[in-house]
A and B are shown apart, each in its own frame.
Chain A
Amino acid sequence: MTAPALPDLSGHFGRYGGRFVPEALVRALDELDAAYRSAKTDPEFQAEFQDLLLNYAGTPSLLYPAKRLSAKAGAEILLKREDLNHTGAHKVRNVLGQALLAKRMGKPRVIAETGAGQHGVASATAAALLDLECVVYMGEMDTQRQALNVARMRMLGATVIPVTNGSRTLKDALNEALRDWVASVDNTHYLLGTAAGPHPFPEIVRDFVGGIGVEARAQCLRQIGRLPDVVAACVGGGSNAIGIFHAFVPDEEVRLYGFEAGGDGVATGRHAASITGGSSGVLHGARTYVLQDDDGQTLESHSISAGLDYPGVGPEHAWLHDTGRAEYEPVTDAEAMAAFQLLCRTEGIIPAIESAHAVAGALRIIPEITAEIGRKPTIVINLSGRGDKDVHTAGAYFGILDEVETLVPGEQE
């Protein structure tokens, strides 16, 4: 079966996606779209991108058979080690691609929003490498939760602007970046950090991170001689998930699972599970699933993971959900932290708390998948980032921080 290429020319995935933006941004989005179309078919651009991925970012990342975890879990688990990339997450792929695009469009300045700080660090890194000015908007709550990443960005030469309005998290950082962009669009590229926002961002980001799935699929065939039964990823905005899903979408026998941040549990209302716990709406330039009240006001999301703490999701996930091609389920903070600890202890890998959601979700579905296929399932989990940035959060969670003055000024419980 050949599915039509999505998004369509106007940027829609079915009824999702599109462009719900002020008119002031339309020309910039059109220019970006045109620049991307030409870059996509330009061998020189693609060669430069691939060269940076290979020689700078350190990809392809390993597909690692996690034997001890597998033994505990009763499944064959393969970890796509995006945590080993330069800057410690899948996001480096997207920022290198977009920074090259910014160069190509002659824009000397990039702006970015960041939640956990991973996209901010990645943006600052790409900007340093390609000699671009970089301004990162970060919710004040997150600058406190992720103070080390703020320092990293500054070391790399970026300006970090704490956003103090609204809920002071990722969604407000995104608002502020959009406001900057409306005023600065002539010389500035908005280096959007996830596969969300107005067209063409969901498509561009998906394509730049799509190497994750292309690699994982080829590695799977090479290493185990067949495709996996399940591909699992965490979903906040959803870039790492769409990055690993996309190459597998045509493989109908491969089940795709996205695990959203369930926070304290979807039933409590304190969560960030936009698909499982939200409804269709318009946020940040696209129609998608949104956490909102009866009046369409955005609700604050909650997650132990700053990178998943966002009340929306990329529009392609909304479409994959509605068509049934991918399953989305919530994973609570507690489940994620248990998986975090298990991965530390069984494999010697400290994952990002975001990625721990994918591990937890994968562990949870093993019995049902086993029953369904009548054998031990093979599961590829996208280990989208490393956990160095989360050591303080996790240390506090597990109560293993010694009673000493914190090393990180400004960080709060």
Chain B
Amino acid sequence: MSISDVFAKAKSADRAVLVGCMPAGFPTVDDSIASMIAMHEAGCDVIEVELPYSDPVMDGPVIQKASDIALAAGVRTRDTLRIIEAVANAGAPVVLMTYWNPIEKYGVNAFARDLAATGATGMITPDLIPDEAEEWIAASDEHRIDRTFLVSPSSTEERIAMTVANCRGFVYATALMGVTGARTAVSGQAPELVDRVRHADRDMPVGVGLGVGNGKQAAQVAAFADGVIVGSALIRCVLDAPDRATGLSRLRALSAELAEGVRNPEK
């Protein structure tokens, strides 16, 4: 199922899409596949696979740590592709989130081709803005990968319009000025940003990320956004667990709680 279809289906059910993020290869390749499949089974509509990168400037301490663990264990770009394939084969819609340098190093067109072959449908680029994305736009058009760029509370109206015009599938709205990581309260800037995106393009689905960590917050975000993106809180389930089984069961429990949240928006 394409990302657009996922959003359309959720909309017709009058609920938001739940996107759950997990770094590829954390803590091992097989464990990350198991985590992602568990997340999907327990209610994450879309699995966002993060390609571990040595210098993740948009990420807070939890994703940094998980990425470092994956890299220290030797995960490679081709492992990430393999993980995506396994998760997509298990029936989950998958998008990749990746910093730009690993893609540039792989070869932009070759990467788009190989990513499409895994069954992934989209790619989120946190440090690639459309202004620098000519090569990526051409490659993702050729290989039919949906493109998600980010908008931020600091984006001007012109940049929101330009960014959304370059997205396909959904646009990622960063709820606050900051890096990834669960926060105690949902950002007050997020609803306004979503409104501004809708003003630029009323049909483009908007996923809101940064700071969502529990079912209540998911329900709050679901009230105004088309998608709720959760990363650090899910990763913590694995990071803080004493053993693998506990990690998986916490991951299922939180995924279910978040899935419940996106179905019961706090209007």
Contact = CB atoms under 8 A, between A and B. Distances in A.
A binds B: yes
Interface of A: 10, 18-28, 165-166, 171, 175, 178-179, 182-186, 281-285, 287, 290, 292, 294-298
Contacts of A183: 176-179
Contact of B101 (A23, A24, A186, A296): A296
A42 B136 CA distance: 39
Interface of B: 53-58, 60-61, 64-65, 68, 71, 76-77, 100-106, 126-129, 131-132, 149-156, 159, 163, 174, 176-179
A284 B105 CA distance: 15
Contact of A24 (B60, B65, B131, B177): B177
B128 A20 contact: yes
A178 B55 CA distance: 11
B105 A295 contact: yes
A296 B54 CA distance: 9
B224 to A, nearest CB: 20
Contacts of A281: 101, 104-105
A196 to B, nearest CB: 13
B127 A21 contact: yes
B55 A166 contact: yes
B132 to A, nearest CB: 5
Contacts of B152: 22-24, 26
A175 B151 CA distance: 20
Contacts of B61: 165
Contact of A26 (B102, B106, B126, B154): B154
Given A175-B55, A179-B60, A26 B129 contact: yes
List 6 A-B pairs, minimum CB-CB distance, nearest first. Answer: A296-B105, A24-B152, A183-B178, A296-B102, A296-B101, A298-B54
Nearest to B102: A296
Given A182-B178, A284-B55, A295-B77, A23 B102 contact: no
A297 B129 contact: no
A175 B54 CA distance: 10
Contacts of B104: 281-282, 287, 296
Contact of B154 (A27, A283, A298): A27
Contact of A166 (B54, B100, B126, B127): B54
Nearest to B132: A18
Contacts of B76: 295
B179 A182 contact: yes
B195 to A, nearest CB: 17
Contacts of B151: 23
A283 B55 contact: yes
Most chain A CB within 10 A, of B68, B129, B150, is at B129
B53 A297 contact: yes
Contact of B159 (A20, A23, A186, A287): A23
Given A18-B132, A282-B101, A284-B57, 18 more contacts: A18-B131, A19-B132, A21-B127, A22-B57, A22-B126, A22-B174, A23-B150, A23-B163, A24-B150, A27-B155, A27-B156, A165-B61, A281-B101, A290-B101, A294-B105, A295-B102, A295-B106, A298-B101
Contacts of A184: 177
A44 B260 CA distance: 60
9 contacts: A22-B127, A23-B129, A23-B155, A182-B58, A182-B177, A185-B154, A295-B77, A295-B102, A297-B54
A296 B103 contact: yes
Contacts of A298: 54-55, 101
A23 B174 contact: yes
A24 B102 CA distance: 21
A285 B68 CA distance: 20
Contacts of B53: 296-297
Contacts of B126: 22
Contacts of B129: 19-21, 23, 26
Nearest to B155: A23
Contacts of B155: 23-24, 26-27
